[in-house]
Amino acid sequence: MNGGQDLGGMHGHGPVKPEPNEPVFHDDWEKRAFALTLAMGMPGGWNIDMSRFARENRSPADYLAMSYYQIWLAGLIDLLEERGLVAEDEIEAGHSLHTPKPVKRILSPADVAKTLHRGGPTERETNTAPVFKRGDRVRAKNINPPTHTRLPRYVRGHAGIIERVIGCHVFPDSNATGAGENPQWLYTVRFDGRELWGPDGDPTMQVSVDAWEPYLESA
């Protein structure tokens, strides 16, 4: 979606402000928002692409006004409510008021280390051959899906070079909507700064994105 999350190239956000000796979390509620988000993935049954969409799928004005963990929390609440796991009145009351929905598994303390260690690899076996090879000139398609996509606006319509054929990976555009993993070949595509930003772009700069085959066409 062309939402508030797609920030590449936007102006007006001011300088980057690194914080010396920054703590991992700035407040206790951030710790709980982080941990609840990770822990609910298992009983909730959603995938990482659905989570990302839940976070970005809000008014850009809201997205940009919220802190990172506020966005995580809002995304989590949306997923919980959409799936009928929690009702709005329960969040207001701060207690369970309705019968819980049966869930397959929850994250037990004994499983935390191995679940984190396993992670969620996205590479998949395939019988198809990649359409593009290293060195091919490609163009990022001009697509504007209102659903989740990982092709940022700032590269759409621009030409670049295939730098690396990464492998066949879960396709977020399908996975986020519940249409299945639909694995697709994934490439690192490198663009010149001036191709993206015009003649005033930094001539010493190149930018790459990792783009699935359906995002690309020959150029």
Helix, strand, or coil (residue 167): strand
Subset of residues 42 to 101 that bind another protein, contact rule: CB under 8 A:
43-44, 52, 55-56, 64, 68, 73, 76-77, 80, 85-86, 90-91, 93-96, 100-101
Site string for another protein, 105-134 (x = CB under 8 A): -xxxx-xxx-xxxxxxxxx-----------
By the rule CB under 8 A, 36 interacts with another protein: yes
By the rule CB under 8 A, 21 interacts with another protein: no
By the rule CB under 8 A, 24 interacts with another protein: yes
Find the farthest-apart pair of alpha carbons in the chain and give their distance in angstroms, rounded.
Answer: 61
> What are the two backbone dihedrals, phi and then psi, of residue 182, each rounded to the nearest 5 degrees?
40, 55
Q: How far is the CB of 68 from another protein (least distance, A)?
A: 5
Q: How far is the CB of 218 from another protein (least distance, A)?
A: 20
Q: How many CB atoms lie within 10 A of CB 17?
A: 5
By the rule CB under 8 A, 13 interacts with another protein: yes
By the rule CB under 8 A, 14 interacts with another protein: yes
Residue that the structure tokens 């966005």 belong to:
71
- CA 88 to CA 161: how far, in whole Å? 48
Alpha carbon of residue 50 to chain centroid? 8
Looking at 152, 156, 182, 217, which residue binds another protein (CB under 8 A)?
152
Q: How far is the CB of 200 from another protein (least distance, A)?
A: 10
Subset of residues 172 to 211 that bind another protein, contact rule: CB under 8 A:
172, 186, 188, 190, 196-197, 201-202, 204-211
Buried b / exposed e over 88-124, threshold 16 CB at 10 Å, is eeeeeeeeeeeeeeeeeeebeeeeeeebeeeeeebee
